[in-house]
Structure 1
Amino acid sequence: MSSEAVQPYQRITQEYAEKIRQGRLSAGTRLPGIRQISEEYGVAAGTVQRALTELRNAGLIYSHQGRGSFVSESVEESVEDSSTLAIKALESRVAELEARLERLEKGHDG
């Protein structure tokens, strides 16, 4: 896949997944804040939030409101190649779209 085809949130997701996979970010390590990551990558906060959601969905990180995001303790078991990570991201997106479609259909049936 060419780098032009990779969305900014996907690049952040892939780079952080790789840091975790390589052990540069170990279990329990706090990730930089959204503002810091958005400045580092030159993207909007929403882009960083989407990347963090993808990492959470893949089981690589967990978040605590007001405290930040951390590398999962069981990261050794959840570290996956980028293809698996991409599939999980797509599954998550499809589930979101299915839920939205269901809400829309219920709204028109009533």
Structure 2
Amino acid sequence: MTDQFAQPYQRIVQDVLDQIRLGRLKAGDKLPSTRELAAHYDVAPGTVQRALSELRSGKAIYSQQGLGSFVRQPESGAAPAPATIEALAQQLAELTNRVEMLERQKSQDD
């Protein structure tokens, strides 16, 4: 869910946050190195460093000198569980289908 008009570092931040929300990255998980992230996102290491800085200031990750960056334990109530997100996504899809069906019926009646 990245915005194509966002700066490269913002896309990295959003991608990491999405991975945390979806449960792909969990508290204590180590993030790839700056070099690996730069290669993955095809950006300069400085861009990755800026993204990591944003993630640290947003308290999503923490870094330890010489060890790397890790996903921080979320504060209680900070983010819904992945199962909750999936349930909400399914409800949204069902509601979208209903609205589309109602709109089709309305256009046929007109």
Q: TM-score range by the shorter chain?
A: 0.5 to 0.7
Q: Residue 18 of structure 1 aligns with which residue?
A: 18
Determine helix, strand or coil for the equivalent of 2:12. Answer: helix
Q: Which runs of 5+ in 1 are unaligned?
A: 81-110
Instruction: Please give the TM-score of this superposition, normalised by the length of structure 1.
Output: 0.65
Change (3 A) 1:65 1:6: same
Q: Residue 51 of structure 1 aligns with which residue?
A: 51
Q: What's the CA shift string for 1:5-31, capped at 9, x where partnerless?
A: 210000000000000111110000000
The alpha-carbon deviation at position 52 of structure 1 amounts to 0.4
Confirm or deny: 8 A CA contact 2:55 2:61 kept in the other structure: yes
The alpha-carbon deviation at position 77 of structure 1 amounts to 4.5
Change (3 A) 1:35 1:51: same
- Partners of 1:43 and 1:13 lie apart in 2 by 13
Q: Which runs of 5+ in 2 are unaligned?
A: 81-110
- Partners of 1:77 and 1:52 lie apart in 2 by 23
Give the structure with the larger helix fraction.
Answer: 1
Q: Residue 96 of structure 1 aligns with which residue?
A: none
Q: Residue 41 of structure 2 aligns with which residue?
A: 41
Task: Return the letter of the residue paired with 1:51.
Answer: A
- Higher Rg: 2
- Partners of 2:78 and 2:71 lie apart in 1 by 11
- Partners of 2:78 and 2:16 lie apart in 1 by 14
Confirm or deny: 8 A CA contact 1:60 1:79 kept in the other structure: no
The alpha-carbon deviation at position 49 of structure 1 amounts to 0.3
